[in-house]
Amino acid sequence: MSDYNKLTSALAQELKAIVGENRFQCGEQVKEDYSHDEMPIYGRFMPEAVCLVESTEEVSAIMKLCRENKIPVTVRGAGTGLVGGCVPINGGIVLGTERMNRILSYDMKNLVVHTQPGVLLCDLAADALAHGLMYPPDPGEKTATVGGNVSTNAGGMRAVKYGVTRDYVLAMTVVLPNGEIMKLGKTVCKTSSGYSLLHLMIGSEGTLGIITELTLKLIPKPEKDVSLILPFKDIATAIASVPEIKLANLDPQSIEFMERDIVDSSAAFTGNAVFPTVVNGKEAGAYILVTLVGGGEDELTVKMERLSEVAEKTGAYDMLVVWTDGLKKDVWAARSAFLTVIEAETKLLDEMDVVVPVDRIAEFLVYTHDEAEKQGVRVRSFGHAGDGNLHIYCCSNELEEDEFKRRVRKLMDLCYAKCTEFEGQVSGEHSIGHAKKAYLRQSVGDTAYGLMGAIKKVFDPDGILNPGKVVD
């Protein structure tokens, strides 16, 4: 937008006074990392200044100044997003929450944790386990912040059993675009008390308010768990097993799928060849990775026997038990490395994060691969078979960037249209940012998209908070 104001030297001094010289960057001091997220194909946009905040009061003071002077503000956590959601496409200020990284307290009687938004997911998960508890949301990027997870309603591998981030947010403190501080939600597990502004804020990608404190629900740590690898002939056969697994009364913690090529790349990249390529004399073309939890070995043994029957019925070559802690760590480290491997091997990269009904996963993947071949784009895929969330990466090391973008745009136009036809959603967990806005509008229709824009205007009438994201 052309009607935002530029940062003046006087205003820069006022911002510096709020956060201190060591937490303020301006002009040439601003680090290039703040211009992009982990998907730089969507552009690099330098902010005029960066404020690294440490408190709700600092955020409030900054927003009051920026609203008075009509300066755009983009909130950023760890910058691990994949849709350009935390990049300052209109310049202005980046408000970084990376210093708000304290776990404030545990309430063991109510099974909740109070935390700042800049705490890393991996740190919260480990700290909760040390208290005998588990924070169930498990997005693949463990170095993302919990505030970023809440802002994008991140899902992850355990969503098939426990749900997504939204299901574990009980309360939050938010700073509105005008600087007003508001508390949403309570430390209770149910409410029928008017419109849920708390849930409106979750998944809003920092366009409605700035989260400065969170109250998150925890659960007791499961007593025992086991992972199991099911190798199949191809991806269609592998995916066809998923409904049978879900119907077998196993209550799996996760059901992941992966194609052979990404497994091979991960093994070469990490030196960790934990997924077998030849099983009982047969070449594996795809895999299902299941995690089961229970109160003890006896319970898990019964579940494993039931899963073994499903595996045999659906054409799995075998069922490989991952029981020891060391092997479980290796298997899930290999799975978690998939995106890192793709990034390391690829010069140009774009992605789709669609979610489709589970029974349409294989059909959608086949369609995507066929259309990608027609467009001359390499596609690599993996994802959450249990909930239909597919991570599909378009890759090239040969094409020039403009030609790559042209081909990928045509492919994505076709694939997102097919996703809508299948009653799917544009994003399962990576959100919209500025990269997927057009596809969101096509998917939900003009009426729903217009209502989203109206909500944005109510919260942020001046349009200064993370402008250009999600809605126009």
Assess contact for 135 and 125: CB atoms under 8 A: yes
- The per-residue pLDDT for 241 is 96
Structure-block tokens of residue 434 = 């500025």
Structure-block tokens of residue 19 = 């956060």
- The per-residue pLDDT for 338 is 92
Give the relative orientation of helices 9-19 and 56-69 as an angle to the nearest 10 degrees: 170
3-state secondary structure of 413: helix
pLDDT confidence of 265, banded at 50, 70, 90?
very high
- The per-residue pLDDT for 337 is 87
For the stretch 413-469, pLDDT in tens is 999 999 999 999 999 999 999 999 999 999 999 999 999 999 999 999 999 999 999
Provide the edge-to-edge strand list for the sheet that holds 103-107.
103-107, 112-115, 210-217, 169-175, 181-185
Mention every residue, 6+ apart, whose C-beta is less than 8 A from residue 91: 4, 6, 45, 46, 47, 48, 72
Taking Cα atoms as reference points, which of 312, 67, 371 lies closest to residue 209? 67
Eight-class DSSP state of 427: B
Q: d(Cα 258, Cα 296) in Å, to the nearest integer?
A: 29
Model pTM score: 0.95
Phi, psi of 131 (to 5 degrees): -95, 10
Q: d(Cα 62, Cα 179) in Å, to the nearest integer?
A: 7
Provide the edge-to-edge strand list for the sheet that holds 73-76.
24-26, 49-52, 93-96, 73-76
pLDDT confidence of 2, banded at 50, 70, 90?
low
- The per-residue pLDDT for 260 is 94
- For the chain, what percent of residues have pLDDT higher than 70? 100
Mean pLDDT, rounded, for 108-135: 98
Q: How many CB atoms are located within 10 Å of the residue 214 CB?
A: 26
Question: In this model, does residue 1 exceed pLDDT 60?
Answer: no
3-state secondary structure of 286: strand
Give the relative orientation of helices 235-247 and 297-314 as an angle to the nearest 10 degrees: 130
- The per-residue pLDDT for 9 is 96
pLDDT confidence of 336, banded at 50, 70, 90?
confident
The 3-class SS string of 96-160 reads ECCCCCCEEEEECCCCEEEECCCCEHHHHHHHHHHCCEECCCECCCCCCEHHHHHHHCCCECCHH
For the stretch 18-74, pLDDT in tens is 999 999 999 999 999 999 999 999 999 999 999 999 999 999 999 999 999 999 999
Question: In this model, does residue 319 exceed pLDDT 70?
Answer: yes
Phi, psi of 294 (to 5 degrees): -170, 180
